[in-house]
Structure 1
Amino acid sequence: METLLLNRADVDENARMPEVIAAVEEAFAAYEHGNVQMPAKSYIDLPQYDGDFRSMPAYMDAGDWDAAGIKWVNVHTDNPEEFGLPTVLGTMVYSNPENAFPLAILDGTTLTRKRTGAAAAVATDHLAVPDASSLGIVGAGVQSYTQLEAIAEVRPIEEVVVSDVREEAVAAFVDRFSDRFDVRGGSIAEAASCDVLSTVTPVEEPIVSADAVGEHTHVNAMGADAPGKHELADELLADATIVIDDYEQCTHSGEINVPYGEGLLDDGDIYAELGQIVTDAVAGRGERDGPEGVTVFDSTGLAIQDVATAHVVYEHADEKGNGYPFELVDTELR
């Protein structure tokens, strides 16, 4: 038996966004139904390197298939300028839960981008107005690309406004998508007034104000994934309908972690977990008693999203003979 080594190109080719979105939605449903094991994300904080490591193990039973894996991932904000490396690096080990054999080792960086975009798409599909055609993005780093790619799968996006303090990042984003969308650079306020807004920055001081968003804007708050990070103004959060991916992670390290810790928000301000909406236990926008006005999805990223995406990638790569098979496990040992 051999383990499959899948690099960035292999993951990118086989993580077909419509299938990843469906798999991530299945993961949220499995979580709501109690069909997952997912210990809390653990952190190794490295302030001397302006970074951290996180370990994210999970097992999920999606009915027709089950899967297990663990992602070892970091966030080092100085990487691009100092080392020419991505801010986020990751390695995913995907295992057969029946016998624990490591089926694949995957590039977790590309995997993370794909599943993060897919999570935003799932939330957008259930919380944005049905005819949403404009998307604002604050933060033009690598995560921004899959926000557009995924959200455009669930809404008829035509106009895109991207905002970033780095002019070169905005220019690169516009150049990448100008043949498919009416895309331009703009201010944070211009981006926030769109039908859908995705924020993908590492800031610790809010940059999106309450009066900047539209009356029915859906916001995907994707950047806050560690204690102290905070992209949206407290007033915006207080007035919005808040949907989270996981209670423990969001109150500890998600977009709501700062105002929650300060007592400005409490459990009563949380409308639902996304899994509840996906499984119809709680109404989404457009449904009876569903939310209106501004909605916010607080996404910290769940290990089951990585496992679900790894499943999609591995199945296709194995079918097509992609990757590099090698003997990681000595099967002669008993």
Structure 2
Amino acid sequence: MKRTADLDAARSRVAMALFACDGHPAMAVLQGDACTGRTAELARRLPDELARLWTLFAALGGTPDAAASIELAADGLPAAGTGNPPVSRVAVADLAADLDRRAADLLRELTAVEAAWTAVSARLDGAQAALDRAARLADGLGGDPLVADGLRPLREAVMEVRRHDLADPVAAATARLNRLAALAASTLARLDELARFREDYPARSAALHAAVDELAAAENGTAREFAVVRAKIAGSGLPPAPRAAPVLRARLRQVDALARDGQWPTAATGCAAVAEAVTAARQRGLRLRLDAAGLLQRRDELRGRLDAYQVKAAAAGLVEDDGLAAQHERARALLHTAPCDLRESTRAVHAYQAALAMLIEERR
């Protein structure tokens, strides 16, 4: 009684598994000649395995006695009614157990094929949607050849995944799918950025023109400061006053012309380059103005040190010393002559300091 109940339970499980395999979505994936590689191997093996299991299940269903056995031909299928001579016998209970295992294995393989195909298909659908949206964005950007060319890598990647991975999802290349997703994201991001750039260009252009005007004013101020420093400091070592603004203004006019012609990728690159150049010119101008101011500060610092040393000399009663007074006068004359020679002035102040220190030491 128990063996009969076990046999009925096995028959029920096998029937459910085989019906599930028959209607499994993976069977549609495996049909036709589109499959390649490992998926093509499964397309040849799994439907044949399903047909064999149905044949064996039919023989199992026609033998209700769990203690009975079934004759099998050389191909492993029932020999009865085929004209093929039997070569072995299998107990009905053992056949039921074998079918139970094989049907479950087949169902797992079909489920794995479906999962692989679904994963590849989802990646491909996402990339195709990105490509379609990117194409619409490209059309909205006026059909610039550079924009159209920018879609080619994504289009080719979609075709490659369709050709290789969708045809053989079981062996799909993860790296290729990841590259497709990354390429779709970067292509859309670039076109979105271009679309925003086109929309915002009037404001961007106005801001850049204003920045160039501010830079021109700053450079004019730097030129005036350089003129003052050169008049007051000999051999200042300052470079020519910066004049980047006229060049950048001309470049910005070129970018404006590109924008009017709808050449948005080139205009975006040019706009970014001008903005970067304006920032660099502003920073360089600030450094130069600090350098120029530093020269005057150095002169004033030397004047202050000389005054402090003279106060020290007076406190030590050395103001009337002829040699020290001569050195003080030479340093003072150098520091108050325009243009001032900072090197000579520095040496003169140091000489005065050394002479003062020596006289003070001699008096101790």
Same fold (TM over 0.5): no
TM-score scaled by length of structure 2: 0.17
Of Structure 1 and Structure 2, the greater strand share is in 1
Q: Which has the higher contact order (CA 8 A, sep 6+)?
A: 1
Of Structure 1 and Structure 2, the greater helix share is in 2
